[in-house]
Amino acid sequence: MGVQILEAPVGVLLGLLVVLARAPAASGQEPVVDFTWLSNAGWLVEAGETTLLLDGAITRLDGPRPDGTNVATLLWPPAEPDSGSVRRVHDALRPAHGIDVILVGHGHSDHSFDTAVWTRLTGATVIGPRSVCYQTFAQGLPEAACDIVEGGEVRELGPLLRVRVVRWHHSGASDDPLGRLVQTPLELREVPTPDPVTGALRPSGVQDFPNGGGSRAFLFTYGEPGRAIRWFVSDTGNPATFDTPAVGREGWFSELGIPMDNLRIVTEDASTREHLEAALAAEGIDGVALWIGYWPPRHVAQVIPILRPRAFIPNHWLGQVFILDGLPRPLENPTLSEVLERAGVELLVQPEFGARYRLDATGVREIPSDDLRARLGIGR
């Protein structure tokens, strides 16, 4: 069965993708979805006999951390994916039916650095922003392996499972130089050129791994009409640019000596709020069962009156932390807890990497994952 294209802006696709055929779920069966947290914004999602990987960056990148004052910290040397660690995580997960589709929210290296490795391991197809697909092409994948999405597209991912892509925005404070650079919707102009010696790409967000014109969020539907369950996943967010699109200018980059040779700034014609409202209207729904999303309380407070989730699982509060080191600490944020409590939204905080959750018609709950953590060599 192919990934079926139900809606798409003109000219956004490189080609059709092929997904491993799956038998439809039995008629009348209640939908059940299992989620496994890998780290950062990485998730394995199992819906019937279809398995998805969201983001999935595993490689530990130990380069300089950007501090906003020294341009050298923004320009990284080429680096290669840690294929061994990716394989180790893959083998520990043991998805019953393999991995069919990889969805990547945005192109920063802590989200997309290992996409090509996962694709080669699994044969999965990729759905993501243009920059993400260009990264995979530079790493040797064919154009047919990656579906470029801008926002608004709908894809059939498997029996009774589909996703609507939602144009999203990226984090970054507006009151400091680094924050303005990070929130700028940056896109690769062309497929980047690997380093001639190592064949590697440069992992910085102002080099070969820009955010991809902002980000993409994903609104999933699984099950038969009338009994389907829906969830929403976003791997970043920004209260400063939720209602007004982020605006960047090349002058910020030239002042810091950052070359824009293969980067362009995408002009946004609508806000994230408008994109989210349009997606819900197109689906004919006024809420979802679960939101897996970026955690800052101001951002969460903006989204929940529109998305109306019944439960929330936070994403990406530690930056990139190596999964095989284990979780340094769970998220503790009283303000976030208060925001969700006032809205009547259940908060589920992951106790450790490898935490697993089950979503069905009754809601979402944590399920045992000791066996997975044992295979990964981590535990609480």
What confidence score (pLDDT) does residue 249 get? 87
Tell me which residue of 99, 119, 123 sits closest to 50, measured CA to CA: 99
> How far lies 170's CA from each of 61, 209, 211, 237, 241, in Å?
20, 14, 8, 5, 8
Q: Are 322 and 39 in contact (CB under 8 A)?
A: yes
The reported pLDDT for the residue numbered 71 is: 59
140: Cα separation from own chain's centroid: 22
* Mean pLDDT score of the chain: 90
Q: What is the pLDDT of residue 20?
A: 33
When comparing pLDDT for 8 and 110, which is higher? 110
Candidate ranges 8-17, 20-29, 102-111, 249-258; pick with highest mean pLDDT? 102-111
pLDDT at residue number 254: 87
- Find all residues with CB under 8 Å of 62, minimum gap 6, and list them: none
Average pLDDT of the segment spanning 311-340: 92
Residue 14 pLDDT class (50, 70, 90 cuts): very low
Tell me the per-residue pLDDT of 93-150, one tens digit each, with 9 for 90 and over: 988 779 999 999 999 999 999 999 999 999 999 999 999 999 999 999 999 999 999 9
Domains for the chain: give ranges and CATH numbers.
Answer: 4-19+31-376 (3.60.15.10)
Predicted pLDDT at 12: 33
Question: Would you say residue 22 has pLDDT above 90?
Answer: no
Is 16's pLDDT higher than 80? no
Quote the pLDDT of residue 189: 98
- DSSP three-state, residue 89: helix
